[in-house]
A = this chain, B = another copy of it.
Amino acid sequence: MRQRGITGAPATIRDVARQAQVSVATVSRALSSPNLVREETRERVLNAAAELGYQPNRAARGLITGRTGNLGIVVPDLDNPFFTGVLKAVQAAAVQADYSVFVADSDEDPVVEEKLVRTMAQQVDGLIVCSPGLSDAPLLEVAAKSSLVLLNRVLPDVPAALMNAANGIEQLVAHLAELGHERVAFLSGPDTSWSNTQRRNGLRAAAPKHGLTVTELGPYPPRYEGGVAAAEDVLGAEVTATIAYNDVMALGVLARLREEGVRVPEDMSLTGFDDLVFAGLCDPAMTTVAMPVREAGRLAVELLLAGPGEDDAPVRQEWLDTKLVVRATTAPPR
């Protein structure tokens, strides 16, 4: 993949050493610990390296240092903007710290997920796992051997970047109560998902405080079609507002409701979670809870790079706030 002049073979540290009239050890030092070589020597080495277009071979370096210079991230679905938002932040933070990033997409399949996590763990210095489907045991096992950070999932002694849906939900419930709603539906996502549990529990806790009664429906697939299916159930539920597990699902509900002649928000208020771009672009624009996707990605990388810390330091599981975004799908009930 690299080349030295006409020969076609990439320049190695020996080529640089020869060109600069020094030993390979000196070249290595000039590049990795500049303060260990005389200024003039370093300059000679740097020039030689530049002339030959020398790039240290990362595999060789990794072999000896034990570090790869890579981070990894496993996500369930690259088509979901929520995860690509995290990915974008992760990759930006990684580049900043001179790491490269591997991605793997499990397509929401727990079996594939486990395989990907295991495979990846051995090629990276740290791994970020966003996998609602994977069970605890394999995750804990990998975490014991590798440097791993969980995103939106809590496991004992595993560092994690967490989005605190509870405070967004608190705001959401207050908002609906203030509009005058009393009976709302919650459209559940996958049972196994930590996020779904967190949202459901947050709702259960917040609703009574504001005099709201919650009807839990589902679970439904956390996708557009899931929302379409859920819309049927909503119509039979005698509620004036519907809280969908996420934005994509809410969009499905919106479409189906419209087909049924149910107007949003006049006949039914509707909200989502995530605040994906198109939540602001659909019509009517969606009231939703914004998740700190960017910050979470950045935080995950930070936790990874910070390493385990002192032996007795507590494992870092850090919470990020979420926030209600009021748009046009919520209004007073009729």
Binding site for B on A (CB under 8 A): 1-3, 10, 55, 57-60, 62-63, 68, 70, 78-79, 81, 84-85, 87-88, 91-92, 95, 100-105, 107, 116, 119-125, 144-147, 224, 251, 255, 258, 277-278, 281-283
Q: Which residues of B contact A88 (CB under 8 A)?
A: 78-79, 105
Q: Which residues of B contact A57 (CB under 8 A)?
A: 63
- Known interface pairs A103-B87, A255-B281, A281-B224; A122-B2 also in contact (CB < 8 Å): yes
Across the two chains, which residue of chain B brings its CB closest to A103?
Answer: B103
Contact between chains at A1 and B59 (CB < 8 Å): no
Contact between chains at A251 and B122 (CB < 8 Å): no
A59-B60, A84-B84 known; 12 new pairs, CB 8 Å cut-off, are: A1-B123, A1-B124, A2-B146, A55-B122, A57-B63, A58-B123, A63-B63, A70-B102, A78-B91, A79-B81, A92-B107, A100-B120
Contact between chains at B79 and A85 (CB < 8 Å): yes
Across the two chains, which residue of chain B brings its CB closest to A64?
Answer: B59
Q: Which residues of B contact A283 (CB under 8 A)?
A: 258, 282-283
Contact between chains at B1 and A146 (CB < 8 Å): yes
Tell me how many chains of this kind the complex includes.
Answer: 2
A281 to B81, CA, bound (A): 15
A60 to B57, CA, bound (A): 12
Contact between chains at A122 and B281 (CB < 8 Å): no
- Known interface pairs A91-B105, A282-B283; A100-B84 also in contact (CB < 8 Å): no
Contact between chains at A102 and B104 (CB < 8 Å): no
CB distance from A220 to the nearest CB of B (A): 17
CB distance from A41 to the nearest CB of B (A): 25
Q: Which residues of B contact A78 (CB under 8 A)?
A: 84, 87-88, 91
Q: Which residues of B contact A120 (CB under 8 A)?
A: 100
Across the two chains, which residue of chain B brings its CB closest to A83?
Answer: B84
